Amino acid sequence: MFAAYAARLDARDPLSALEWGERPEPEPAPDWVRVDVRATALNHHDLWSLRGVGLAEKQLPMILGCDAAGVDEDGNEVVVHAVVGDPHWRGDETLDPRRSLLSERHPGTFAQQVAVPRANLLPKPASLSFEEAACLPTSWLTAYRMLFTQSGLRPGDTVLVQGAGGGVSTALVVLGKAAGLRVWVTGRDEAKRTRAVDKLGADAAFESGARLPERVDAVMETVGEATWSHSLKSLRPGGTLVCSGATTGPNPPAELNRIFYLGLRVVGSTMGTRDELAALLRLCDQSGVRPVIDRVLPLSQVKDGLAAMADGDLFGKVVFTVQS
């Protein structure tokens, strides 16, 4: 089958580690099923994998991709939950110490077929296209959990989203508005800030690091070192910083004085549970909320999508369509 995979690991030039072509079809283990992938979406995770973050030489070649919407062996249209855990684990799957994401230990979704545990399949609502559904299992699920499970925000509260055009950040803006929050955004690029307000409905957009008109109830962080200090300074006393990523680096100054003196809460968050993905699918189905898609490309153009992400030249998700 056709697939795109990490053939090498290269921290400096991740695109040079990418190859695409024929790979063996997956052999499902007991209680696993094969899914014909119709659409898959790009995540920063795929760039990290090519750089060797979370992937070791001995696992190569590894098919990339966490997100998939497709058709199962019985002909059902499905969305795949990307968190693969210990089958004996009970409770929140994101807290299973043995969990991994597709493309970390098991071959990923940038392929005509992917094998996944049967329990990871959810029905795709008919109202969502395969392209839209493929955006939900990673970026959008992460944003859903950050806002609705981890933040403590209530309708009417104000949230700051760091980053205007990213996959997670565009999801945070759209989901935050759908939930009745006042949503403020920062972005490095004026055109992206304007789009966040005009197209996604953000209430205001500010340059990265700009002083805000007032402090906010919560900040959603995926950028890391470049925005961490601004995130802490932007919170009201008792406010919450939810962090699910560190694109620009994981070790900003901790600013412990600010955290304890103002009683700030710093909450880590990763992906989401199967139940949260089911709720996100229902939300999209019932409310008309749809993922923000920058571009749709055939999987054979995987390198173009990754190059746009590496250059920061995106507003929303890159979706790859897959022919069976």
Ligand X SMILES: NC(=O)c1ccc[n+]([C@@H]2O[C@H](COP(=O)([O-])OP(=O)(O)OC[C@H]3O[C@@H](n4cnc5c(N)ncnc54)[C@H](OP(=O)(O)O)[C@@H]3O)[C@@H](O)[C@H]2O)c1
The residues of the shown chain that bind ligand X, judged by CB under 6 A, are 43-45, 48, 138-139, 142, 163-169, 187-189, 192, 208, 222-223, 226-227, 244-248, 270-271, 309, 312, 314
- Structural contact between residues 309 and 42, judged by C-beta atoms closer than 8 angstroms: yes
Q: How far is the CB of 290 from ligand X (least distance, A)?
A: 17
Tokens of 55: 């992937």
Of 130 and 228, which has the nearer Cβ to ligand X?
Answer: 228
State the nearest-atom distance from the C-beta of 12 to ligand X, in Å.
17
Amino acid at position 269, single letter: S
Q: How far is the CB of 228 from ligand X (least distance, A)?
A: 11
Residue closer to ligand X, measured from CB, 246 or 267: 246
DSSP state of 248: T
The tokens for 154 are 């209530």
Q: How far is the CB of 41 from ligand X (least distance, A)?
A: 9
Closest CB to ligand X among residues 106, 192: 192
Helix axes 302-310, 44-51, angle to 10 degrees: 90
To the nearest whole angstrom, how small is the minimum distance from the Cβ of residue 126 to ligand X?
A: 27
Pick between residue 109 and residue 138 the one whose CB is nearest to ligand X. Answer: 138
Strands (E), the chain: 2-6, 18-22, 32-41, 62-63, 69-71, 77-80, 83-84, 100-101, 113-117, 121-123, 158-162, 182-187, 204-207, 216-221, 235-243, 265-268, 293-298, 317-321
Q: Residue 171 or 179: which CB sits closer to ligand X?
A: 171
What is the C-alpha separation between 38 and 134, in angstroms, rounded?
9
191 class by beta-carbon count within 10 Å (0-12 exposed, 13-18 middle, 19+ buried): exposed
Given its phi and psi angles, is residue 201 left (phi above 0), alpha (psi -120 to 50 degrees) or beta? left
Nearer to ligand X, 129 or 208 (CB): 208
Find the shortest distance in angstroms from Cβ 209 to ligand X: 8
